[in-house]
A and B are shown apart, each in its own frame.
Chain A
Amino acid sequence: MQSKEALLAGFVTEMRRGAIALAVLSRLSEPGYGYQLVRDLAVGGVPVEANTLYPLLRRLEEQALLRSDWDMREGKPRKYYQRTETGTEVYERWRAEWKQFSVSFNSLLEDNHEVK
């Protein structure tokens, strides 16, 4: 049987998996590049590792929620991502869902706490 720690780690990973895409979409109304996002999200209290974020950006781009442009002006070529129109629409609706969900969930967890 799995240890308590392993179980909990599994639950948390599972819980964060979908939510990270929402966090990424929320940051990209303006163009931004990968490593900048890694730092922004960490500052915002949602640390995401680069090896998770970069493939996720690629996937959101394939799903036409983000578009990208290479900026070659500096020494290092940078790939800037930005929400597409579809991306913005999906983001707004997802955000509304999230807010509703978090209100319900918070109340559920509080209730549970009181029963205990």
Chain B
Amino acid sequence: MKSNNIIERYIYAISRQLPVKSREDTARELRTLIADMLAERGAEQEPSEEDIRAVLTELGRPDELAQKYLPAQRNCLIGQPHFRIYKLVLKIVLAATLFGLSVALMVELVSAPTENLLVRLGEWVLRLFSGGLQAFAYVTLIFALFYHYDVKLDEEKDFLSELPELPERAPKSSAAENIIGLIFTVLFALAFVVLPETNIPVWFEERGFIPLLNPEFLRSMRPLLLASLAVGALNDITMLAERKNSVPALLTQLLDAVLSGALAWAFFSSANLFSSQFVQAFHAPEVAGLFDPSLPLNHSWLGKLLLGLTLFGLAVGSISAIVKTIRAVSEKSA
């Protein structure tokens, strides 16, 4: 009784996965097959549990056997030819999402300036992450449905006209460009370190030359400025040593962009950027709405615009560098 129970359970484990109309037929056929196999072992009348186990083991796992009865199924989430188009659409949607969110952040930054840049950057990264994740989920879901229901996406009637272009050889960055960049970085750093107070003299008729910038502010900016110069030099050296679009070159470039962004932020939002002499001497009512040295630069719309453009440029440059590096690295490994 118990042995029969195993056979029936085995058959049920298979038949329940089959279409209703073929279940009974298949079950009956399998029952006879098992009986035939037991008979072959000379154990048809009183099969021992051992015999039954041997026969069922030979037939294999119920899931696998049931799978063989089912018509060839679409057994992955997204297969060809949909997968190829899925990858393309996913790249475009992700890039557009990240770009859109970054632009939105820039607009927010310039319209509602904050002193706490780090918190803003953290929020930005989080928003990019969750936005990217949502874009990924939606595109994947849509293409999984397309694949499952075999929605035709392209008939490829004329595939010859749609052959991909051969990838361009990534040009090596020009060595001269990097060497000149390096020299200027070093000179600038030396000037900043050697001269006690690097400053920009401005001529006023009644006061003579007075310093444009606040020495206190410059001093407080020194670590950031030096770090930025050091990273800039490091970037030039990496570009010289490695190929352009290598991962190390990208990392130094990104770090450079972050430091430059922080510097720009500090310059534009500091309330004491200009020297007190300059604030006192500057009287130009005709530009009061655009420029007032006693207020941070980003209080005027012009300052907001310049800061926004600077940060936006850095973000675009960084994203483009990331994309180029990913492409170069994946081509190299392909």
Residues of A within 8 A of B (CB): 33-35, 49-52, 54-55, 58-59, 70, 76-79
Contacts and interface: CB of A to CB of B under 8 A. Distances in A.
Contact of A51 (B26, B29, B60): B60
Q: Shortest 5 CB-CB distances between A and B: which pairs? A: A55-B68, A35-B36, A55-B69, A76-B32, A51-B60
Interface string B58-80: 11100011001101000000000
B44 to A, nearest CB: 9
Contacts of B28: 70, 77, 79
A77 B32 contact: yes
Contacts of B22: 58
A77 B35 CA distance: 11
Contacts of A33: 32
B65 A51 contact: yes
B33 interface: yes
A54 B32 contact: no
Given A50-B33, A54-B30, A55-B68, 8 more contacts: A34-B29, A35-B32, A54-B29, A55-B65, A76-B36, A77-B28, A79-B28, A79-B29
A51 B61 CA distance: 10
The DSSP consensus for interface residues of chain A is helix
Nearest to A74: B32
A52 B29 contact: no
A109 to B, nearest CB: 30
A50 B26 CA distance: 13
B19 to A, nearest CB: 11
A78 B68 contact: no
Contacts of A54: 29-30, 33, 69
B297 interface: no
Interface in B46-92: 58-60, 64-65, 68-69, 71
Nearest to A52: B68
B11 to A, nearest CB: 12
B257 interface: no
B37 interface: yes
Contact of B68 (A35, A51, A70, A76): A51
A58 B69 contact: yes
